[in-house]
Structure 1
Amino acid sequence: MVTTRLAESTDHDDAVAVWRAANTARGRPPEATRVDRVRAKLGEPDAIVIVAVASGRVRGMLLAEPGRDRDGRGPRVAGLCHISMVFVHPGWQGRGVGRLLLERLRTHVAALGGTRLQVWTGADNDRARRLYRRAGFAPSGRVASLGPTRPIEQFTLDL
């Protein structure tokens, strides 16, 4: 059985381990500087970190933060929550863990008075795109790029 909960600081190392394992499995092992950056983001005061736990171990993680105008460079947008990452350990993918993480976030943000969730994902990341659609997100029509060969697409969900 998989349960989700808001993470405690003692969960951060396990959350980073899930993130690393998932990135490595898809052929993108992170460099040490990126690992340090993710660890720091998990510890930020306004970070919402949710973990999925099964058999006493963290199997999935989600990081969200207040949404900001101008694609994260501007002031906070009231009611907007930006999902920075959702990762599931490779051995637990396809079991609904990502959906459970998103459901917990949705409930948590709505209880705080949030009105909208947003996320950007790779235009070629079919697994993530299916996850967001199944969770009720819809493409916003916005596309961008993380360089010349990495198009990304925005999905949103009104709460």
Structure 2
Amino acid sequence: MPAPELRPATAADLDTVLAFWQLAAEDAHRPADSAAALSALVARDPEALILAVDAATGELVGTVVAGWDGWRCHLYRLAVHPGRRRAGIGRLLVDAAEARFRALGGTRADAMVLDENDLAHRTWRAGGYAPQAEWSRWVKPL
């Protein structure tokens, strides 16, 4: 199967992305994503939401948010279609995110990964990421 095309999301993709995340992303213990939030992301940083699209069918098969705040690099919402996993799509998306970070001057990336998502833990470790037990993350709903 040929590698998917990687491209930034546009406003026209946002409903498709939200539906895709319902199918392919881990959503336990987190607030629901919204069209308004995605729209704000794409408006603020049009290159941040990277999509993997099947070149033959146009089907969305993967996503990653490669957030850059001018100081730190953050990876969110790495998701691959369940029927397309273990085909290297996640690696392609992370490689594209890391290339973006390097081009912006980033020197270290962190990934937001749920504690109970064992499949994701194996994936991130295989890519050279390690959990950072010394860092606690505190969260407050707004």
Q: Which whole-Å deviations, capped at 9, do the CAs of 1:108-129 have from their partners, x for residues lacking one?
A: 1111211111112112211111
Greater strand percent: which structure? Answer: 1
Count of aligned pairs between the two proteins? 133
Aligned to 1:91: 83
How far did residue 49 of structure 1 move?
0.7
- Structure 2: 5+ residue runs without aligned partners? none
| Structure 1: gaps of 5 or more residues | 68-75, 148-159
**What SS is found at the alignment partner of 2:95?**
helix
User: How big is the shift at 1:22?
Assistant: 1.7
Contact 2:52 2:89 in 1 (8 A): yes
**Residue deviations 1:48-69 (CA, integer Å, cap 9, x gap):** 01011113221111113235xx
Match of 2:12 in 1: 10
> Within 1, Cα distance between the matches of 2:24 and 2:101?
25
Q: CA deviation at 1:36?
A: 3.3
Identity %: 30
Partner of 1:45: 44
TM-score (norm 1): 0.68
Equivalent residues of 2:63, 2:78 under 8 A apart:
yes
- Contact 2:18–2:33 under 8 Å retained in 1: no
Cα RMSD (Å) of the superposition?
2.7
Q: Give the TM-score normalised by structure 2.
A: 0.75
Q: Distance in 1 between matches of 2:89 and 2:108?
A: 21
Tell me how far 1:145 sits from its aligned partner: 7.1
Q: Deviations 1:120-158 (Å, cap 9, x if unpaired)?
A: 2112211111111111212222355779xxxxxxxxxxx
Structure 1 residue 84 displacement after superposition = 2.4
- Give the SS at the match of 1:64: strand
Residues 5 and 43 of structure 1: is their aligned pair in 2 closer, same or farther, counting only changes over 3 Å? closer
Q: Which of residues 106, 130, 140 in structure 1 aligns to 2:122?
A: 130
| Conservation of the 8 A alpha-carbon contact between 2:6 and 2:52 | yes
Residues in 2 aligned to 1:118 and 1:62: alpha-carbon distance in whole angstroms:
13
